Amino acid sequence: MGVSSSSNVETSQKSGQHIMTSIQSQMPQEKLPSKPGQWRIVHACDLTRKYFEPETKLTGGTEQTAGDAALSKLHSLGTDSSQTQPIQTEIDQARLLDQTAENEKVVLQRRQHLEQHIRSNPTDPNSFLELGQIYRLEQKPIEAKRVLEQATELFPDNHELRWEFEEATLARSLQQLREVAELANRLETAEADRELHRCQHDWACRRIEICQARLERDPSKIHLRVALGEAMLDAGMYEGAIEELEPLLEIDAFSPSAYLLRGKCLLAMNKDLDAMVELRACAMRRSVPAPLRLRILSLRLLCETAERLGIQLTLNRYRELLRQAETEFAKQSASANVS
C-alpha cells in the first residue's frame, strides 16, 4: 500500500483504539446496565429462564431473549454506523463489505498487538480490559475469561476487571448451554440430555455465585435479588429462593417478580394452595399492578393449578382474567408493530 511498517502499526493502533472506545462507551463501570442488549452477551440483572420457559411465546415466537438481543448487537459492533442504513445499490453493498473486512482486520491487528503487549508487560489493567472486550466482540468468551482471570489475580482490587471477569464467566456458561441445547435437540439421546441438564445446572450455579458476590460487594443492588432468586429456582434451591425474595415483597418495583418466582418455587415443592396465594398477589393486586407479561404468566399458572385441583368456579374467574390480559397484550403488540 506504499506505507511504512511503523506507520501501519500506528494506524492500526489508532483505529483499534477508536473501535474499542466505541465499544467501551456502551459498557457500565461497576454498575448494572439500564437495559439488556448492549455489547456483552448477558448481564446478571437480565438473566432469565427464557431459554426453557414460555415467556418467549407471548409474542408468537417473535420476542428476543436478552442473550439473543445482545448477540445481534455483537454482530453489529466494530462496523461503521452506515451499515444500519438500507443498502440502496450494489456499489453501497460493495462498500459495506469493504468496510466490514477492513474493520475486522483492524480488530485482529489490535488483538495481536495486545496479546504480545501483556505477555511482555503484564502491568497495564487497561490492556487486559481491552483484550477481553475484543475476545467478547469475536464471540470467544472462554478466551476472555482466561485473560480476565489472569488480570484479576494481578489486580485483585480492580473492580472493573472483576466485573468483566464475571461477565465473561456468565457468557461462557451461557455459550455452553446453548451449544449443548442445540446438540440435544438434534441427537435426542439420554447422554445428550444428561449433558444438557449439567449445563443448565452450571448456568444456574454461575448466576448464583456472581449475584451473591455482587450483593456482598454492594448490598444496595437489591434488584440482583430477583436474578438470584430465579437462579436458585433453576438450581432447585426453592426454600432459599423464597427466603431471598422475601425482602422484595415490600418494594413495589420488584414485588410482582418476587411473588411470581415464589409461586413457582411453591409449585415445585407441591404446595399448590400456598403457591396460588403468591400468584394471585402477582396477577390481581390493584394497589401494585404487575407488568402485563408477568400478569399473563401468573394467570396461566393459576389456571393450570386450579384445573389440577378441580376448583371450577375459581378456574373460570382466572380464565376470564387471562383472556382479558392476552387481548390487551395482543392490542399492545399490534399497536407497537404499526408504529
| pLDDT per position as a tens digit, 318-330 | 999 999 999 999 9
Quickly state the pLDDT bin for 245 (edges 50, 70, 90).
Answer: very high
Q: Please state the rounded mean pLDDT for residues 5-20.
A: 44
Quickly state the pLDDT bin for 91 (edges 50, 70, 90).
Answer: low
More confident residue, 283 or 64: 283
d(CA 64, CA 159): 30
Q: pLDDT at position 97, please?
A: 64
More confident residue, 35 or 309: 309
CB within 8 Å of 6: residues ≥ 6 apart: none
Q: Please state the rounded mean pLDDT for residues 93-97.
A: 62
User: Do 227-339 and 36-48+69-77+105-188+210-216 have the same topology in CATH?
Assistant: yes
Question: Would you tell me which CATH number, out of the four given (1.25.40.10, 3.40.50.10860, 3.40.50.1980, 3.40.1160.10), belongs to the domain 227-339?
Answer: 1.25.40.10
Cell 463489505 belongs to which residue?
Answer: 97
Structural domain boundaries in the chain:
36-48+69-77+105-188+210-216, 227-339
Taken in order 168, 203, 235, 302, is the CA torsion positive or negative? positive
- Inform me whether the pLDDT recorded for 138 exceeds 70: yes
Q: Please state the rounded mean pLDDT for residues 145-168.
A: 94
Q: pLDDT at position 22, please?
A: 45
The three state secondary structure string of the chain is CCCCHHHHHHHHHHHHHHHHHHHHCCCCCCCCCCCCCCCCCCCHHHCCCCCCCHHHHCCCCCCCCHHHHHHHHHHHCCCCHHHHCCCCCHHHHHHHHHHHHHHHHHHHHHHHHHHHHHHHCCCCHHHHHHHHHHHHHCCCHHHHHHHHHHHHHHCCCCHHHHHHHHHHHHHHHHHHHHHHHHHHHHHCCHHHHHHHHHHHHHHHHHHHHHHHHHHHHCCCCCCHHHHHHHHHHHCCCHHHHHHHHHHHHHCCCCHHHHHHHHHHHHHHCCCHHHHHHHHHHHHHCCCCCCCHHHHHHHHHHHHHHHHHHCCHHHHHHHHHHHHHHHHHHHHHHHHHHHC
Quickly state the pLDDT bin for 98 (edges 50, 70, 90).
Answer: low
> CATH topology for 36-48+69-77+105-188+210-216?
1.25.40
Q: Please state the rounded mean pLDDT for residues 232-237.
A: 97
